[in-house]
Amino acid sequence: MPYYTPLRYPGGKRRLVPTVTRLLEENKLKDVHYAEPYAGGAAIALALLLEEYASVIHINDLSRPVFAFWHSVLNNTTDLCSRIEKTKVTMREWQRQRAVYENRDSAALDDLGFAALFLNRTNRSGIIDGGVIGGKEQTGEWGVDARFGKPELIQRIRKIGRFGSRIRLYQMDALDFTKTVIANLGKSGFAFYDPPYIENGQDLYLNNYTIDGHRELSHEVAKLEVPWVVTYDYSAVRHGLYPRCRRVAYGLSYAANGRHEGKEVMFVSRNLSLPKDWLRSEPFLMSAPVVRSSKKAVVYGMMERMRPRPEMIEGPQAGERFIGALKTVLKVPKSAVPVPFKKPTLKGKRPTTRKG
C-alpha cells in the first residue's frame, strides 16, 4: 500500500484502506463521493481517489493548521513545493515554524500550512503540537530532518495537486459537516469517521470532545442514509456508543509516546453488507502484510457480539426466508390470536354503590 499523504498521524488509518475498498466492492459501490469529517492526513480518502474508487473526496478538519496545509496543497501547490525545496531543516527553522504555529489563529494560511507540514514531519510521531525528533539539544539517535525526505514529499504533494479538481476541502465542526455535507451526498455517498480517541487522545491533535459530544455525534451519524463506518478506540464500546450497530474489533499498532497495540473498534452502518469471511466468528485479515522495519504489520479483525448463525447470513436467501415467514404469519386467522390487554366487557349492570 503506497503512502499518498504527506502528513504523519498517530494512529493514521492508512492500513485500513483494504478494509474500506473491500466494503465498497462487497456493496458494489463505485465512483463514490467519499467524505472524511476528521480528515487529518486523509490517508484513506487519498488512496480511494488516486486508485479510482472515489470520483470526488470531501475532506474536512476543524483544525486551522491542518486545513491551512491542505489549502496550500490544493491552491498553491507550486509555492509549497518550492518552499519545501528551499527550506533548510534545522533547529533554527524549527523554532521559526513553531512561532508561526503559536500564532495559528491569525497567521496567513500559506505560512501556517507550511508550518503545519514542517512540524508534522519534524516532531515525534507527527504530533504538530509535540516535541522535536532528537530533542531540542539534538542529542537523540535521529535528527530533526530524519522524516523530511524532500523529493518524496514534493512528489506526493504534486500528485495530489493534479487531482485537485476532485477534492473538496472544508473547515467545519464534524457535526455540522455531517448535517450539511454528508447528509446531502446522495446515492453514491460514503462516509468514514475517525474521530479523536475517547481515551488518551487529548495530546495528539485537536480534541475538544467530551463523551457527550461523541454521543451527540453518534445520534446524528445514525440518522444518515448514506453508508458509513466509524472507528474508535475500544472504550467506545464500554461507553455504549452505537449500541445497535454491527462492530468489528481490531488491533492497530500506533507509535505515539512509545509503542502501543491499540485495540480499536469499527462500527458499520446497517445498510452495508459485510463480506462473508467477516461473519465467521473467527479473526479475519483486514490489511495486507506490510513489511516495516523487518516486521510484518498486519491488522486482524473480529466481528463482535453479532455471531450470526448460518441462516442469518446476508443475501438473497435471507430475503426469501423473511417472505416465507411473513406468509406463514398472515395465514393465521385474526380470531385465533388472543388479545391480552383487552378489557372484559361487563355483562350485568354496574353496581351503583361501593361496598365497605
Ligand X SMILES: C[S@@+](CC[C@H](N)C(=O)[O-])C[C@H]1O[C@@H](n2cnc3c(N)ncnc32)[C@H](O)[C@@H]1O
Return residues touching ligand X (CB under 6 A).
9, 11-13, 37-38, 40-41, 43, 61-63, 66, 173-174, 194, 196, 205-207
For residue 42, the minimal CB distance to ligand X (Å) is 6
Smaller CB distance to ligand X: residue 37 or 161? Answer: 37
CB of 38 to ligand X, least distance (A): 3
Nearer to ligand X, 13 or 22 (CB): 13
Nearest C-alpha neighbor of 16 from the set 307, 318, 287, 281: 287
* Alpha-carbon gap, residue 320 to 218, rounded angstroms: 32
Q: How far apart are CA 31 and CA 51, in angstroms?
A: 11
Measured from the CB of residue 308, what is the shortest distance to ligand X in angstroms? 29
Query: Which grid coordinates belong to 356?
Result: 365497605
Specify the residue, 20 or 226, whose C-beta has the smaller distance to ligand X.
20
Q: 344: alpha, beta or left, given left = phi > 0 and alpha = psi -120 to 50?
A: beta
Count the alpha carbons within 13 Å of 282 in the hemisphere toward its beta carbon: 2
State the nearest-atom distance from the C-beta of 177 to ligand X, in Å: 7
Q: How many helices (H) and strands (E) does the chain have?
A: 11, 11
Largest CA distance in the chain: 101
Ranked by CB distance to ligand X, the top (closest) residue is: 40
* Shorter beta-carbon distance to ligand X: residue 134 or 201: 201
The CB-of-265 to ligand X minimum distance in angstroms stands at: 14
Considering beta carbons, is residue 16 or 29 the nearer one to ligand X? 16
In 3-state terms, what secondary structure has residue 89?
A: coil
